[in-house]
Structure 1
């Protein structure tokens, strides 16, 4: 008997297992290191190497062949937290780092350090270190490996095989070499130390969580267990104190100084052969500064200033250098643009998403053009200006190193992703993917809807015949940073499965989502609720004028995280449009969410209480709007990102208002649901709830 789609999707981690990822290209462009498991249902990730000239692929490290892996991973708590921030659902070697020439790599398994050489063919070597190794990184010369263990920063010298403690925590709330919570969760900075180009010292972050409010994550299913304390920087409260220090190999430290009272967020560090650059941001996120660090004294000087009346976006890959010119990114003439030497070089027609690489005099970047559903790759150089690298429609990312272009492409024409390297000679090599096929062909129409031309996807059952009314299921995320309507088949698989259960599924990317430029993204400033909800309603009603078989008397909505917030908001604020909702891990009161995300849009609770009131669900829970629509709240009780208090407090408010609803607590589940049985049955329970609430019969067999 063939397993159901929900079971296969859960087992394959959304059909991502077995696909290559985490590629690093050697500086000569001749070799690619990458991660991949051995099959589409194998969650144990291995390290591989591909010689691009010969096409020879080699398995460098298989966790199952290494003693430390065992059958169950025993992860240090800092590594579990890092994987939660990354939403990492696989196991084995999920991260690695190399030296500059990509001749060797370091990685951790179950808190133990391994070093592998790409050319030797030898098995990776287990390094004798203190337990609990996190984030090992070789120096650029490949002579030493730095790592964190127990919140202390160590360096292992590979030739004499000696491990030295560089700096240990001087307080129980302090760590060295790790990213703080908001840096990892919201800024995309997952690391807390950086090697100097010559490998003779490091820049290390000291994170002091003492100022941060302590919350407690309990396990009600096991009342004998102590609640876990979590330093959670909720909106309007204190962040961790992050300081930076230049640390020599003998442990001598020089503090880096800047106006940390004004610019408390450490966004990123870039240590190039030109300079040591530090990017910092103000608490209100309206000011971002790029600072040059004097590596002798630790003093800083400003080299770039970027300001915005709403907020300054953090763009991956910048700042850096192109030759001697500083590369930054910012808003200019209504577009997100790359700047070289302070001057915009990308056209207003492109919305830059990330700078991916600088190769000689050429920059590789990803951007949206007039089609916000497609992420394409482009290059810019002084000689050639802007050139499209991937003109075809799809979702692309890539690398450009040593003249070799590595492109990963997902599209509507095929399943999964295809990763192809194009050498300077024009020869190509494709890295094999072992990902399982989904066996589900979306019946998909990507269009625009409403007066704003909102990106909209409509998915219909494969068995549906025109003239047959279909209940509607809205399936949005709807919030900042994330898109759901993209030109990639696998992004629509879950929605198509819901369609097969008897729904017309509608997905809308409204204001606040990426792809349409700064004004579109900033339309949610001061209000995360009404513009987002209005766009869902407007797109639905417009789509129904073109598709009269959409039954607007039976409209459900489901979502997770921000999508869960939007789903609950929909049935509470617009019960005239939405007739049932499944809200998974919803933010219900933005004062309970973290500083960096929430304050970007709403300010602080004390400074802008009206914005928090407008965006909260609690006034809607108490409002006298009728009828009361069926609402299922789902929440992982171990969630340390959107804590379960969001759902529990909303449930209390609904109960106090006499509003019927259902709550499904998920014991031991975090903000992710990687557990196979949980992930499968969660989909099945949602379908059952929505069918009952909307009166939807089972689909034909």
Structure 2
């Protein structure tokens, strides 16, 4: 019997889901001589240090320790830095990001709003880290490729300073309080996967810099009702159907030269990707607002003129992918494209992969091959449920780098590959350093062992072969039907059915409380096929909910599921899905935990909602039928009315608390039973230890009450 101090909810919260102490953010030197990465000193310490592994057989060494650099003082984060971390879902502390020069000999990072550089070379003195005294608070510092300067953002200005700390100056300063240089706008960081706002030229003599003017964007107030004396936080939030920020791009020379990059911003307002390497001209990917058209543009840095390299159109939408577009060393465009019903890798105009692979990201490009992350495609001979592998692709064929069944990713340079692998039967991730395919080193993880292993079966359910994970109680040995807890995310960009250990831990904890837990990745979720993801267009609610129902009913034939006692829990899209389940299918679902749900489609951001539902002024009916609070079933007086627990962070600036408040008001007006759990000071993440711990316990209590269940004797903590 576990004690309160070492219970799973407590340890899960204290270790940030057992991620603290795990190495991450790897960079390999182009000569293959070293690997840099971030890692906190233990599985309960949030403060990351910057580490270096010298190859071939050198030890791991600390290049920068935030505790020593701050002299034990607490970190001070600016509002801009807090916002950046919220967009990237960064719950760590200390050094949470860094950038290096081209040779990976020096690194720059911000710590408590101050600028630091670290010498990464072998033989550098321990702690060879220095602070550059520059105006703060500093955001996103990045060394020039030659290491002679560092660019950074402070006060909305893009500034540069010499590596020795001299010559600090602004290259571009905001013309008003609504303008920033060098930062990504909200939708780029939240939805496009573009967290950066400036890019160095490979010659280190100039930069491409984004200028963001959010004057046109609606202003919302995020208040903290628990502290009425505090002034609400004013945020620029581009809700669906409203104006986005105006984004322009400039080439800025170190001597003050300034040239604007020209493209048809009226037709293609979204600056989705920027790439600048020695293999070709600066490369942009810009999208139309409806995300059905995009063009790849090469930039002339001297004049700012652009020329089209390639154009794409799609009748549904065009997806954005990590690592592309980019140039191959021979100057060919590397991209990922949905063609012929498959997601393919293309170099130039030639696709190099077929329907057997579903390409997810480009990891590295050399003259010999392209390193990619991919799942098995729909035409693969043996579908691998939940597996993601690393492959080498060239004109001669495809070679799989990762072998063990699981979820794999990689970073590569200089003949060295850092392969990060997670598998079902082992906690955490294993990090192997390979040289020319041979193991040369491993990187240690300090993450805590969860002390439990998921009893999970990966399978597929229903006629559509929906990927599913079914988890049974650890000590369950009978065939007595168990109450069911559906535990999905179930929406775009959120794959939950994966062949890895730690992603299933929370589901297993709920299973050990006496549930059969089902996780289903229905249509709209990634990793299957373009048609699978795009099936939700205009019908997100109906399609996502139907697949949860179909998965549940199909699995009942193979697992001991009590269909008379079915609950559902979820957060964000999963919370939306849980609310839909309780309201639209009370014949199937008997209780719902609704966490941070999007309930009014018009209250979420432009890039996300308009991708799936179109423009609300053009398709108001589509928005109505996909919004929970407009659901006709909400006000239907007919029984049954299923209980809901609605949970929301009051400081959430992504899914604002208005979503839950509007849902609660509509439920109250309809006389429908529900509970509301407001989380003071909590954003869309829940990194606070006590909050994260007690959220699990309170959800369990609600589920037991709602399904009339007794706590099993000797339950796992």
Indicate conservation of the 8 Å contact 1:358/1:400, yes or no: no
Residue of 601, 605, 608 corresponding to 1:590: 601
Secondary structure of the 1:357 match is strand
Deviation at 1:240, TM superposition (A): 0.4
Partners of 1:391 and 1:625 in 2: how far apart?
54
Answer yes or no: is the 8 Å Cα contact 1:362–1:379 preserved in 2. yes
Distance 1:208 1:372 in 2: 44
1:561-640 matched pairs, under 5 angstroms: 561-618=572-629, 619=631, 620-640=633-653
Which residue does the alignment assign to 2:34?
Answer: 31
- Tell me, yes or no, if the aligned pair for 1:416 and 1:435 is still in contact at 8 Å: yes
Instruction: Name the residue aligned to 1:389.
Output: 401
Q: Does 2:708 match 1:695? A: yes
Counterpart selection for 1:404 from 416, 419, 425: 416
Counterparts of 1:141-540 in structure 2, within 5 Å, are: 141-159=146-164, 161-273=166-278, 274-322=280-328, 323-369=330-376, 370-382=383-395, 384-424=396-436, 426-540=438-552
CA shift, 1:425, in A, is 7.3
* Structure 2: unaligned runs, 5 residues or longer: 377-382
Distance in 1 between residues matched to 2:235 and 2:208, nearest whole Å? 26
* Equivalent residue number for residue 668 of structure 2: 655
Asked if 2 retains the 8 angstrom alpha-carbon contact of 1:136 and 1:148, the reply is yes
Given that residues 57 and 440 in structure 2 are in contact (C-alpha distance below 8 angstroms), is that contact kept between their aligned partners in structure 1? Answer: no
The answer to whether the 8 A contact 2:132-2:165 is kept is no
TM value normalised by structure 1: 0.98
CA contact (8 A) 1:398 1:405 kept: yes
1:233, 1:572 → 2: CA distance? 28
Tell me how far 1:312 sits from its aligned partner. Answer: 0.5
User: SS state of the match for residue 371, structure 1?
Assistant: coil
Change beyond 3 A, Cα 1:295–1:625 = farther
Q: Provide the C-alpha distance between the structure 2 equivalents of 1:557 and 1:283, rounded to a whole number of angstroms.
A: 34
Residues 639 and 349 of structure 1: CA distance in aligned 2, closer, same or farther (over 3 Å): same
The Cα offsets for residues 169-210 of structure 1, whole Å up to 9 and x where unpaired, read as: 001100010000000000010010000111111110110010
Q: How many residues align?
A: 698
* Structure 2 Cα separation of the partners of residues 371 and 526 of structure 1: 29
- Note the C-alpha offset of 1:700: 2.0
* TM-score (norm. length: structure 2): 0.96
How far apart, in 1, do the equivalents of 2:453 and 2:385 lie?
23
State how 1:111-150 maps to structure 2 within 5 Å: 111-119=113-121, 120-121=124-125, 122-150=127-155
Once the 2 structures are TM-superposed, how far is the Cα of residue 506 of structure 1 from its aligned partner? 0.6
Alpha-carbon displacement from aligned partner over 1:347-370 (angstroms, at most 9, x marks no partner)? 211110000111332110000113
User: Structure 1 CA distance, aligned partners of 2:441 and 2:636?
Assistant: 60
Question: How far apart are the structure 1 equivalents of 2:434 and 2:372?
Answer: 16
Contact 1:529-1:566 at 8 Å conserved across structures: yes
Contact residue 621 and residue 650 of structure 1 kept, 8 A: no
Structure 1 unmatched runs, 5+: none
1:626 deviation in Å?
A: 2.0
- Structure 1: distance between partners of 2:637 and 2:256: 64
Preserved CA contact (<8 Å) 1:186 1:597: yes
**Could you tell me how far 1:650 is from its partner in structure 2?**
0.7
CA distance in 2 between counterparts of 1:515 and 1:244 reads 33
- CA distance in structure 2 between the partners assigned to 1:164 and 1:343 by the alignment: 45
- Matches of 2:198 and 2:470, distance apart in 1: 45
Choose which of 75, 88, 91 in structure 2 pairs with 1:89: 91
Deviation at 1:381, TM superposition (A): 2.0
Deviations 1:293-324 (A, max 9, x none): 01110011100111111001101111112222
Is contact 2:14-2:44 (8 Å) kept?
Answer: yes
Question: Is the contact made by 2:133 and 2:165 (CA closer than 8 Å) also made in structure 1?
Answer: no
> Aligned partners of 2:475 and 2:438: how far apart in 1?
45
| Contact 1:187–1:267 (Cα < 8 Å) also in 2 | yes
Q: Where do 1:550-569 residues align within 5 Å?
A: 550-569=561-580
In structure 2, distance between residues paired with 1:495 and 1:94: 28
What CA distance in whole angstroms lies between the structure 2 residues aligned with 1:591 and 1:580? 26
SS where residue 426 of structure 2 aligns?
A: coil
Q: CA separation in 2, counterparts of 1:478 and 1:633?
A: 18
Task: Indicate if the aligned counterparts of 1:502 and 1:697 stay in contact, CA closer than 8 A.
Answer: no
Alpha-carbon displacement from aligned partner over 1:26-59 (angstroms, at most 9, x marks no partner): 0012210000001111111000000121232111
For 2:165 and 2:435, the matched residues in 1 are separated by: 38
Distance 1:700 1:463, change over 3 A: farther
> 2-side partners of 1:622 and 1:240: how far apart?
37
After the TM superposition, which segments of 4 or more aligned residues of structure 1 sit over 4 Å from their partners?
A: none
| Separation (CA, whole Å) in 1 of partners of 2:692 and 2:138 | 30
Partner Cα distance (2:578, 2:637) in 1: 18
